[in-house]
Chain A
Amino acid sequence: MSEPVATNQTILVVGGGISGMTAALEAAECGKQVILVEKSPSVGGRVSQLYKYFPKMCFPTCGLEINLRRLKANRNIRLLTMAEVTRLEGEPGDYTATVRIRPRYVNENCTACGACAEAVEAEFDDEFHFGLKKRKGAYLPFTMAYPQRYVLDPRILGTEDAERAKAACKYGAIDLDMQEQTVELKVGAVVWATGWKPYDAARIQPYGYDRFKNVITSVELERIMDPNGPTGGRLVRPSDGKEAKNIAFIQCAGSRDRNHLKHCSRICCMASLKQATYLREKFGDEGKATIYYIDIRAIDRIEDFYARVKADPNVSFIKSKVASITEDRATGDVILHGVDTEGYHRYSNRHDLCVLAIGMEPSVPADQFPTELVVDENGFIQRDPANGAIFAAGCSEDALDVNRAVQSGTAAALKAIQVVNRVAGTEG
């Protein structure tokens, strides 16, 4: 990577998740200049927090490694982390983006040796693990984090920890005086790929996510399965660390629901089918999964994955939106109440753990874009000429799975290239 000057032939990509990274890389590999802006200290986004991908059950970090290698090798991309676009003005071929860069307090000298983390005492909830684990006040966001540079939590600033970190670093990498910066960039086109966030599960009151320890979200389960995660990859439940051999999956937790998210989040059915296989992976015949669903949306050729999971006698399906969850205080077990609508059967089923297949909502609320954009009722950016040369990619555009998000990112990259090529006059 080098530092190309941003011009109106530069493409700005906002968001360093898989969609944004893809858009940036695909454009750069076409020879275009790209600035990639990422809010957090490292790229990779949501997929880097997943244990496995459906339907192949392969590891997201495998693709991340490839993408990082592409990124490291590409001199057309300039990456800004801890950066957010706060203003975006102009028109196709001529945008000015204002980017605010938060201080990392660690400069490029950092070798990721880890001495600062050893020196610092304060611990905070680890965002990467959804707070299921603690991390130090000086930290590498995750093992594969890129840039491979530590970050100081601003909360240790002004404490002795900050001084300890500084003293521990032999390379002059800790810079406690680092200030927030604002830069203005001139760009020709923008790919908006700020992705999604999990819906706030606590708002689904009857499921008691905020009251019962053994009700977790699907994204949290991915962390629990991670060998680097809070449980070291052991599939155990939060209340007592007991192996969770009998797990309930509740579909449409927050999705397809006018009380929460109106849209279908597309991925959650496949995600639960995938997670149902984790039980067999960990416990063989002793693992049991029950999937409570409205419609199983295993769309297109990955239907075969659904068929495969369905053939497992230890995975059962109940067509029902679970009405409520109660907790057995003595054991910590969760009891799901509802009606199986296929023929009307009431149930009160006991499970070790309940996983909410949590819905996707756009990361950036509709009224918080740095410029005016045409969005639909669910907050997803529309393909609309009024958006000029700002093209949505990935889950900014629709609730998408990884494959579709990458497809979307690739398409958005071409849309942006068309604009900068027009500016360059290479388009006839």
Chain B
Amino acid sequence: MSDVKIGAYICKGCGLGERLDTAALAKIAEREGKAALAKEHDFLCSEQGVAMIREDIEKEGLNRIVIAACSRRAKTEAFGFDGDGVAVSRANLREGVIWARPDTEEARETTQEMAEDYVRMACAEVRHMTPPKPNPEAQTHRRILVVGGGVSGMTAALEAAKAGYEVTLVEKTGALGGMAARLHRRVPDHAPYADPQETGVEQMIREVEESPKIEVVLNARITRTSGAPGRFSADITTESGQTRTENFGAIVQASGFIPYDASKLPELGYGKTPDVVTQLELEELVRKADGGPIKRPSDGKEVRSVFFVQCAGQRSDKEGHLPYCSGFCCTASIKQAMYFRDQNPDIDTTILYTDLRTPGYLEDFYRSGQRKGVIFTKGVASEVRPADGGGAVVRFKDLILDEEVEAEADLVVLATGMIPNSGVDIEKPERREGQSDEDYQKALEEAKARMGLNPGEESVLNLQYRQGPDLPKLRYGFADSHFICFPYETRRTGIYTAGPVRRPMDIAQAIEDATGAALKAIQALENAGKGRAAHPRVGDLSYPSFRRDGCTQCKRCTVECPFGAIDEDEERYPVFNESRCRRCGTCMGACPVRVISFENYSVDTVGQQIKAVDIPDEFSEKPRILVLACENDAYPALDMAAQNGIHYSPFVRVVPVRCLGSVNTIWVTDALNSGYDGVILMGCQKGENYQCHFVKGSEMAHYRMGKIGDSLEQLQLEVERVQTYEVAITDIERAPRLINEMEQLIEKIGMSPFKF
């Protein structure tokens, strides 16, 4: 650390000069913060201000910069000196101090103390930061592996190829095309959205086969995948047993869906008569008819009437049914009814539905179906039974006419849903020793919600990851992102799902989805090659490293990493795959011996900030409250509170953290040991609807803090002195309130006895 040279810049603009004694702040930066130089400036973010800093960096050889001005969220571009061997820390004097405090004479002293501490903290932080450099070992293979040769997989392959990337497309069957190849026609995606259109699958297959950039491997499976973005290694094993190993930069998993097993619906007549078929089976009947009249399976009689039962085994909480809507089936039934009506308008077609779901432009397709004479009946089928002389009788409640009725048809089509083919459940609960029955049952139920009807018998990717061979499932077996804003967010960096394995979808959506997934794959391998992190800390060059001689091989980091980025070597030491890492620091928070760190974010960069704060003595009536705030939500909430003129306690010192998951309990115990009176952790919502950007970080923090009671007891401190909250970015009123409540609590229970 000998070559650290800190320059501290204190802005006097935006009222800072009037509200604070900036000269004193500069002095503190020099004397206590050991800054080589400290300057005040009237308007630091101005061209001149920025130029001044740049000049100092060049002429004075500064490599650590402290900007004591506004929040790190403001003027980010102006103060973007990082990189090239320079690290920056921002002391938040505007949003964090003067805007959070009333402009009164009484408040002046404590406000100044607040600002002084933030200057001390920024100097301490920056001193312990190392400007991150990309890992010199970063490399990348530019070939993309696409698993699954259906419409989604073929689209991903074609779109990546069109962008200039080479692709290996692995399909487990003997032909490309997937489910869509079994269709006669598809639902239109082009105006006027009136008629079924060609599936386009044949053309797509031709394009794939003709593309010089795409290699197709049929009858093959992925029997092993290891590595990380930029350097995946996969074994591709063909049916004949031959295996080859190849390197890839990224993976698109388009493993599609498994059609729902209609034999689970005997009440709807499936299996009782061949004249009750699924939508997929009807497609086969239509293809078999080859333009001629469509015949019913039982006796080959020409079909004169068809009855479509929507939501068959779907949208239902019955055992063995799908609780979700598969999304494509309403329009598929309309399309199929058109097969009949277009051929012969004398054929009666009825669609029995509860909610007809034709979103967006597909409403036009619904209208077209009506125009063609397809009958739509709102009702619920209770029974389908074989009719005398072929066909079937549907018993249903007509919800509009409010009566139980029966209808006979030559053919009954069940609109059954899709089950994602997403591999095995990597979080499968195993009975742990000492686990109560109740807990075990709960775990089993969670697994059921997670996996749905996905059999989970065969792995798709066979990942050689510490956390299991496939992608984590979100719900009902879908390997989807849990983020509304980030549908491609994946918990296995560099591996993106596309198509119905991600969520239920039709062909049009699958094509778009696969195109997006192809982009993400390209992005992942490009960034891996530069040693840059993937979403959400895009471009972050730092990566975790650990001190091998201190590691106790406790495996917490490998188990708790939300992204399964850490493996174990033969000696059971952690192996950090940096291009799989998302730089959240959950491993750092987990490590009981504190050997994990990032160059610019470590136990020290935060620990030293905590220590840098001036702790007044017990009798000063000036408590100190430490807030460790998630930089994504809680920290902006506090900024915005101040921006909106909401004030809070001057005794608080806020440290932004990458994720609450990165909070190491040592920070909390050290803070309490050194005389802080209270500690508040503010992270994102955890649990089922988690909002934590690092999936499990906030949850881990809550769990860890739940156990800190012992440490507090040892210190003979009240447990209330440490609080962990879920704070949303909109909590601009609540977040300051939580701080003020801590101040009141301290007033009640008294100051910490640990002041020195």
Q: A1 on the interface (CB 8 Å rule)? A: yes
CB distance from A258 to the nearest CB of B (A): 9
A 376-424 contacts with B by CB, 8 A: 376-378, 380, 382-384, 398-400, 402-404, 406-408, 410-411, 413-415, 417-418, 421-422
Q: Are A113 and B13 in contact (CB under 8 A)?
A: yes
Q: B471 on the interface (CB 8 Å rule)? A: no
Q: Are A58 and B689 in contact (CB under 8 A)?
A: yes
Residues of chain A contacted by B526 (CB below 8 angstroms)? 30-31
Q: Are A59 and B213 in contact (CB under 8 A)?
A: no
Residues of chain A contacted by B204 (CB below 8 angstroms)? none
> A112's closest neighbor in chain B, by CB?
B74
Q: Number of B residues contacting the other chain (C-beta, 8 Å)? A: 91
Q: A126 on the interface (CB 8 Å rule)? A: no
Residues of chain B contacted by A364 (CB below 8 angstroms)? none
Q: Are A63 and B485 in contact (CB under 8 A)?
A: yes
CB distance from A69 to the nearest CB of B (A): 8
Q: Are B402 and A343 in contact (CB under 8 A)?
A: yes
| A109 CA to B323 CA, complexed, in Å | 55
A 19-76 contacts with B by CB, 8 A: 26, 29-31, 51, 53, 56-67, 69-70, 72-74
| A268 CA to B487 CA, complexed, in Å | 20
Q: B755 on the interface (CB 8 Å rule)? A: no
Knowing A63-B486, A414-B518, A417-B519 touch, does A266 contact B640 (C-beta < 8 A)?
no
| A10 CA to B324 CA, complexed, in Å | 42
Q: Are B360 and A300 in contact (CB under 8 A)?
A: no
Residues of chain A contacted by B45 (CB below 8 angstroms)? 111
CB distance from A343 to the nearest CB of B (A): 4
| A337 CA to B131 CA, complexed, in Å | 67
CB distance from A350 to the nearest CB of B (A): 25
A 286-330 contacts with B by CB, 8 A: 295-304, 307, 319
CB distance from A190 to the nearest CB of B (A): 16
Q: Are B515 and A65 in contact (CB under 8 A)?
A: no
Tell me the interface secondary structure of chain A in the complex.
Answer: loop
Q: Are B691 and A56 in contact (CB under 8 A)?
A: yes
Looking at the complex, which one of A31, A171, A415, A428 makes contact with B515 (CB distance below 8 Å)?
A415
| A265 CA to B361 CA, complexed, in Å | 9
CB distance from B688 to the nearest CB of A (A): 9
Knowing A171-B13, A343-B402, A399-B359 touch, does A62 contact B691 (C-beta < 8 A)?
yes
Q: B43 on the interface (CB 8 Å rule)? A: yes
Q: Are A29 and B527 in contact (CB under 8 A)?
A: yes
| A373 CA to B689 CA, complexed, in Å | 40
| A344 CA to B402 CA, complexed, in Å | 8
> B525's closest neighbor in chain A, by CB?
A30
CB distance from B478 to the nearest CB of A (A): 6
Q: Are A417 and B163 in contact (CB under 8 A)?
A: yes
Residues of chain A contacted by B453 (CB below 8 angstroms)? none
| A295 CA to B356 CA, complexed, in Å | 6
Q: Are B358 and A264 in contact (CB under 8 A)?
A: yes
Looking at the complex, which one of A228, A398, A403, A413 makes contact with B487 (CB distance below 8 Å)?
A403
Q: A367 on the interface (CB 8 Å rule)? A: no
Q: Are B732 and A227 in contact (CB under 8 A)?
A: yes
Q: Are B520 and A410 in contact (CB under 8 A)?
A: yes
Tell me the interface secondary structure of chain B in the complex.
Answer: loop
Looking at the complex, which one of A143, A299, A341, A407 makes contact with B325 (CB distance below 8 Å)?
A299
> A140's closest neighbor in chain B, by CB?
B643
CB distance from B75 to the nearest CB of A (A): 7
Residues of chain B contacted by A297 (CB below 8 angstroms)? 355, 357, 359
A69-87: contact bitstring with B at CB < 8 Å (1 yes, 0 no)? 1101110000000000000
CB distance from B58 to the nearest CB of A (A): 19
| A212 CA to B636 CA, complexed, in Å | 38
Looking at the complex, which one of A63, A112, A296, A398 makes contact with B360 (CB distance below 8 Å)?
A398
Q: Are A406 and B515 in contact (CB under 8 A)?
A: no
Q: A170 on the interface (CB 8 Å rule)? A: yes
Q: Are B361 and A410 in contact (CB under 8 A)?
A: no
Q: B1 on the interface (CB 8 Å rule)? A: no
Q: Are A66 and B355 in contact (CB under 8 A)?
A: no
Knowing A65-B632, A295-B356, A398-B361 touch, does A73 contact B159 (C-beta < 8 A)?
no
Q: Are B325 and A72 in contact (CB under 8 A)?
A: no
Knowing A297-B355, A303-B325, A406-B487 touch, does A66 contact B632 (C-beta < 8 A)?
yes
CB distance from B74 to the nearest CB of A (A): 6
| A301 CA to B14 CA, complexed, in Å | 49
Q: B712 on the interface (CB 8 Å rule)? A: no
CB distance from B120 to the nearest CB of A (A): 24
B 435-479 contacts with A by CB, 8 A: 475-476, 478
Q: Are B484 and A377 in contact (CB under 8 A)?
A: no
Looking at the complex, which one of A111, A304, A407 makes contact with B324 (CB distance below 8 Å)?
A304
Q: B362 on the interface (CB 8 Å rule)? A: yes
Q: B135 on the interface (CB 8 Å rule)? A: no
| A344 CA to B357 CA, complexed, in Å | 23
Q: Are B399 and A266 in contact (CB under 8 A)?
A: no
| A418 CA to B162 CA, complexed, in Å | 6
Of B317, B485, B505, B691, most A-chain CB atoms within 10 Å: B485
Q: B327 on the interface (CB 8 Å rule)? A: yes
Residues of chain A contacted by B706 (CB below 8 angstroms)? none
Q: Are A1 and B77 in contact (CB under 8 A)?
A: yes
CB distance from B490 to the nearest CB of A (A): 13
Residues of chain A contacted by B527 (CB below 8 angstroms)? 29
Q: Are B325 and A376 in contact (CB under 8 A)?
A: no
Residues of chain A contacted by B486 (CB below 8 angstroms)? 63, 66, 406
Q: A262 on the interface (CB 8 Å rule)? A: yes
Q: A148 on the interface (CB 8 Å rule)? A: yes
Residues of chain B contacted by A377 (CB below 8 angstroms)? 191-192, 364
| A302 CA to B539 CA, complexed, in Å | 33
Q: Are B324 and A300 in contact (CB under 8 A)?
A: yes
Looking at the complex, which one of A144, A342, A418 makes contact with B163 (CB distance below 8 Å)?
A418
| A202 CA to B411 CA, complexed, in Å | 47
Q: Are B523 and A56 in contact (CB under 8 A)?
A: no
Residues of chain B contacted by A26 (CB below 8 angstroms)? 519-520, 523
| A300 CA to B357 CA, complexed, in Å | 10
Q: Are A414 and B516 in contact (CB under 8 A)?
A: yes
| A112 CA to B684 CA, complexed, in Å | 27
Looking at the complex, which one of A111, A265, A296, A415 makes contact with B355 (CB distance below 8 Å)?
A296
Residues of chain B contacted by A426 (CB below 8 angstroms)? 164
| A26 CA to B504 CA, complexed, in Å | 24
Q: Are B77 and A61 in contact (CB under 8 A)?
A: no
B61-74: contact bitstring with A at CB < 8 Å (1 yes, 0 no)? 00000000010011
Q: A265-B360, A296-B355, A301-B504 are in contact. List 17 more A-B contacts (CB 8 A).
A: A26-B520, A59-B691, A65-B729, A112-B74, A113-B15, A303-B323, A303-B325, A341-B400, A342-B399, A377-B364, A382-B191, A383-B190, A407-B487, A407-B513, A410-B519, A414-B516, A428-B212
Binding site for B on A (CB under 8 A): 1, 18, 26, 29-31, 51, 53, 56-67, 69-70, 72-74, 109, 111-113, 143-144, 148, 170-171, 226-228, 256, 262-266, 295-304, 307, 319, 341-344, 376-378, 380, 382-384, 398-400, 402-404, 406-408, 410-411, 413-415, 417-418, 421-422, 426-428
CB-based closest 5 A-B pairs: A63-B485, A410-B516, A343-B402, A411-B515, A427-B164
Binding site for A on B (CB under 8 A): 13-15, 43, 45-46, 70, 73-77, 80, 159, 162-164, 189-193, 212-213, 315, 317, 323-327, 355-364, 378, 399-402, 475-476, 478, 480, 482-488, 503-505, 509, 512-513, 515-516, 518-520, 522-523, 526-527, 536, 538-539, 632-633, 636, 640, 643-644, 684-685, 689, 691, 693, 728-730, 732-733
6 chain-A/chain-B pairs, Cβ below 8 angstroms:
A30-B522, A56-B691, A62-B632, A170-B43, A295-B356, A411-B512
